[in-house]
A and B are shown apart, each in its own frame.
Chain A
Amino acid sequence: MKKVSLRINGKEYASEIEPRLLLVSFIRDICGLTGTHIGCDTSNCGACTVIMDGKSVKSCTVLAAQAVGKEITTIEGLAKGEELHPIQRAFWEHHGLQCGYCTPGMIMQALWYLKLNPSPTEQEVRESLSGNLCRCTGYQNIVDSVLAAAKYIRNGDQAR
């Protein structure tokens, strides 16, 4: 066991951890930030996607110890109070979620991708999300949500 401190959504979380502890377990079980979900054991589903130092990572495939000194953003870090982030708002407006289990991962992946490519085509959005699985929506409304979010952000809606 070793004491580490991780910076998540701008806040420091300190805990004694085992070397094997996954980042997703740290986020969920130690920080209580349960918006990051677990949908598989093999980093296929993307439900646990978070942003680490500006890049999207599947937090089930990162050890908590590897995240020391990095800046982590989870789904809880997006909205400002009641005001939704433009990507969250786009998902709401375009019915981009049903059960909501894949949603945080989808949104975090889109957050990363839209910074990389603020004006994507539909095909580019599809490719950027191909590592995030959804079993409910058939993806069409998710893709439309991300395209709409890109537009909102380009038009000056604030994005973190």
Chain B
Amino acid sequence: MASAQQTIGSGMATRRKKPKTPLPKPTQGLVGQPLKRVEDHRLLTGQGKFLGDIRLPGLSYATFVRSPYARARLKHLNSVAALSLPTTVAVFTANDLIGLGDMPTVEEAPEKYPTKRPVLVQDEVRYLGEAVALVISTDPYAAEDAAELVDVSYEPLEPVVDPVKAMLPDSPRVHEHIPNNIAYHLKTESGDVERAFSCSDGVLTLELENQRVSPTPLEPRGVAASYDPGSSNLTVWSTTQDPHSLRGILSAGLGLPEAKITVIAPDMGGAFGQKISVYPEDFAIAFAAIRLRRPVKWLESRRENLLVGTHGRGQVQRIELAHTNDGRVLGVKAKIVSDGGAYSTSGAFEIPELTCAMVTGVYDVQDVRTELYSVLTNKVPQDAYRGAGRPEACYLIERAINALAKKLRLDPLEVRRKNFIPSSKYPYRTASGYTYDSGDSHLALSTLLERSQVHSRLTELRKSFPDRLFGLGFSTWTEITSFGPDFPQTAAVSVTKEGEVLVAIGGHPHGQGHFTSMVQIVSDELGVDPGSISIAEGDTRLLPWSSLTAGSRSAALTGTAVLLSARKIKGKMSVIAAKLLKDNPSELVFERGQIYSMAKPERRIAFKEVASAAYLPSKLPEGLEPTLYEYTAYAPSNYAFPSGAHAAVVEIDPETGAVRPLEYYAVDDVGRVINPLLAEGQVHGGVAQGLGQALLEKVVYDRSGQLLNAGLGDYCLPSTTDMPRINWSRIETVTYANILGVKGIGEAGTIAATPALVNAVEDALGAAGGEPLGMPLLPELVWKSLSSKSRTATASSSAHEGDRASG
């Protein structure tokens, strides 16, 4: 495969539809260039400012006392011994949280039940690690000591652990008012599903589990809060992807006006969806800081992060494909049982909804029925993990397509090609009601095969090492990004009278490199040196409102909001410059710190000079407001739908069942790319997380609801030696989802990698593997599958070859 550098911008762009609005001008400037990151210097030199690095005068340290049971009645709690330590400042229990509201839940609707979630448990513990008390000390070590001294007694109750069993009538209830623990039930149907199934030659049924995993950002969560009684201003520092949301929810919980609350999200060591929700700790720490009139800080330990940081995925899935004998899919029925955890949260309901909506992937099927059960269990609530609902959809359909190929003894790629949405059908309206903006799965797949040569690579491997087991797996993926009409993103651009540009962006980037990509956009638009542009973010005082950094939406939304704000600045500066140059404002060019007209390029004025003039009312055209500050709240009218094709080559050690990923190839269509260096980095990291779920990761609960792997020694993240090299390149179909022409890249790798890898392992195992493989594909599981294979192989030695349709 050619290197990514060679293939980026290699003229693969396909233009099909006449644009409704003019296309962006071909890029001359920084957009599209692999600019090295502007945010790196301080991170490389240890000068990042993460939550744990915050120091405040008089700071006290918090520790939570957490339930050792998944479900229990809180009998008795005594904090006398903890309070006797000289270092203890306070101990709070549920009874002490006077005036503090409960955690947010969902709106009540038919077949949709809200739940009451306390900040600290009052009577019934509903998940392992749920906090029962908050201890504040003058020293972080002493806080741990004091927490040990809080005496709590519980009456353990039978927990609900398995989401499918939870739906049985005789199962205990996580919340008494919710029958069968079904907190949310949603059915959708489009087309004529019964007709599709009755017309088909057969039905392929596949049942899979998409296991619960922990997002595991390398920096766990944390909160600090400081209250100024004089002004009654509260400042909260939190590891959050969504500072303004947190401000609003804290305001409701604390009964403090939003205008009195500042939320600051400092540098953040990854998040991956786990830092979207508002947590009990946010409420408790803010409350304690107000009550104690001194700053309080809490840092989550890794054990706590695995126990009580939201988990992602967690679905038991069933899919039925009505198909013809030659592999055409006519109709789809999907049933999702989602393991929502102990409380009704919007994340636990909306994420599996996305799975249902995206379950047809890149395939042209209009007769579709989905049914979702979001079920309560005695586990920490479920929320987003990179991809949030779409990896689950992609996994289900991409495994099912392979299973269909296996059933019909067809090449899985042939079955894919037969069912791809033809590029001529874009914009394509899906059965679920979305409109896919653009895409070309045929081109993505053929490009992948051509550039990677994976088939000959596999043949070569099998020939060179006939005693070893190799497999090749594919996924052809899509997802929904650019959320969305309901969550506008904001940005403001200002220019100082010295001509320096300050950009304020909403949300809270945490590793994606937004500083760099936003600098590229602004530098091009205003024709200024990237070094003269500063970016500020993660502080609710910067902008009146903003929405979350998540869902591969920042290039599309933040980028567009930044671009539109910069354009407004340019418009205003053009008017001022035109007056100074005695020229027409509509014809001015901003380039290399100069402003001039195309007609008379020799007459120019410095950007800085125009900026200075903007601050002198006497120099301004009449009616023009002095200073340079422009704000945009941008809400796209539609989503965007990136897509692509991925391939994995794996080797299995037949002695141990260990899976070794050897090679990984990806060709993605993510629209226009602002910075290929950053985009490729997102794919690398995404693939690593998708690989983690396929091969290594799962939160393992026993029957009593204990989490058996609440540490990084047992919860295995991929390490350097688990990862293959990733060869990424791209194609580009033109999208009009936004004026930048971008689709979003953050989740692509995670969505595509999991099914590609599992399909590769199934390919390596061959036909006789029996039951469909579950995840993660730990050696034991693979080895067992291999042993059953060797038993079957004695009976039918030709079975293996027969299935190797893609080889």
Contact = CB atoms under 8 A, between A and B. Distances in A.
B46 A35 contact: yes
Contacts of B219: 37, 39, 99, 101
Interface in B96-140: 140
Contacts of B725: 140
Given A37-B50, A92-B37, A98 B721 contact: no
B269 A99 contact: yes
A35 B47 contact: yes
A124 B59 CA distance: 44
Nearest to A38: B52
Interface in A17-51: 18, 20-21, 25, 28-29, 32-42, 44-45, 47
A14 interface: no
Given A37-B219, A37-B269, A99-B268, A139 B44 contact: no
A134 interface: yes
A95 B46 contact: no
B720 A126 contact: yes
Given A34-B53, A98-B512, A41 B303 contact: yes
Given A21-B141, A135-B689, A35 B45 contact: yes
B720 A143 contact: yes
B45 A34 contact: no
A133 B44 contact: no
B52 A103 contact: no
A137 B302 contact: no
B81 interface: no
B723 A45 contact: no
B95 to A, nearest CB: 30
Interface string B702-737: 000000000111000111110101100000000000
A125 B720 CA distance: 9
A59 interface: no
Contacts of B140: 25, 29
A136 B45 contact: no
B48 interface: yes
Nearest to A87: B44
B678 interface: yes
Given A100-B48, A100-B269, A95 B36 contact: yes
Interface stretch (B282-290, B313-321, B397-405, B680-688): B680-688
B218 interface: yes
A97 B302 contact: no
Interface size band for B: 35 or more
A139 to B, nearest CB: 5
Contact of A33 (B46, B270, B719): B46
A42 to B, nearest CB: 5
A43 to B, nearest CB: 9
A23 B726 CA distance: 37
A99 B217 contact: yes
Contacts of B512: 98
Q: Is the interface of A mostly helix, strand, loop or mixed?
A: loop
A40 B303 CA distance: 8
A130 B686 CA distance: 19
B714 to A, nearest CB: 9
Contacts of B220: 39
Contacts of A42: 302, 711-713
B270 A99 contact: yes
B267 A95 contact: no
A104 B45 CA distance: 7
A159 to B, nearest CB: 15
Interface residues on A, range: 35 or more
Nearest to B512: A98
Contacts of A56: none
B641 interface: no
A76 interface: yes
A65 interface: no
B222 to A, nearest CB: 11
A91 B44 contact: yes
B48 A139 contact: no
A132 to B, nearest CB: 8
B41 interface: yes
Nearest to A21: B141
A138 B685 CA distance: 4
Contact of A100 (B302, B511, B680, B721): B511
B333 interface: no
A79 B45 contact: yes
Nearest to A129: B720
A140 B218 contact: no
Interface in B58-96: none
Nearest to B301: A41
B1 to A, nearest CB: 14
Contacts of B50: 34, 37, 101
A76 B460 CA distance: 49
Given A45-B218, A130-B719, A136 B36 contact: no
B216 interface: yes
A135 B217 contact: yes
B571 to A, nearest CB: 35
B711 A44 contact: yes
A147 interface: no
A6 interface: no
Contact of A141 (B39, B41, B684, B713): B684
A138 B726 contact: yes
Nearest to A99: B511
Nearest to B219: A101
B52 A37 contact: yes
B510 interface: yes
A132 B717 CA distance: 11
A107 interface: yes
A137 B685 contact: yes
A131 B681 CA distance: 21
Given A133-B717, A140-B723, A34 B685 contact: no
A67 interface: no
Contacts of A37: 50, 52, 218-219, 269
B218 A101 contact: yes
- Most B CB contacts (10 A, CB to CB) among A40, A75, A127, A135 go to A135
Nearest to B684: A138
Interface string A81-124: 00010001001110101111111100100000000000000000
Given A37-B219, A76-B47, 16 more contacts: A18-B141, A35-B47, A41-B301, A88-B44, A100-B40, A100-B267, A101-B218, A101-B219, A103-B43, A133-B712, A133-B717, A138-B684, A138-B687, A139-B688, A139-B718, A139-B720
28 contacts: A25-B141, A28-B52, A35-B45, A37-B218, A40-B302, A41-B303, A84-B44, A91-B40, A92-B41, A92-B44, A95-B37, A95-B677, A95-B678, A95-B681, A98-B270, A99-B270, A100-B43, A100-B269, A101-B48, A107-B44, A126-B721, A134-B218, A135-B216, A135-B685, A135-B689, A137-B681, A137-B684, A139-B723
- Nearest first, the 10 A-B pairs at minimum CB distance are A35-B46, A101-B269, A100-B43, A99-B511, A138-B684, A138-B688, A75-B46, A98-B511, A44-B712, A34-B53
Interface of A: 18, 20-21, 25, 28-29, 32-42, 44-45, 47, 74-76, 78-79, 84, 88, 91-93, 95, 97-104, 107, 125-127, 129-143
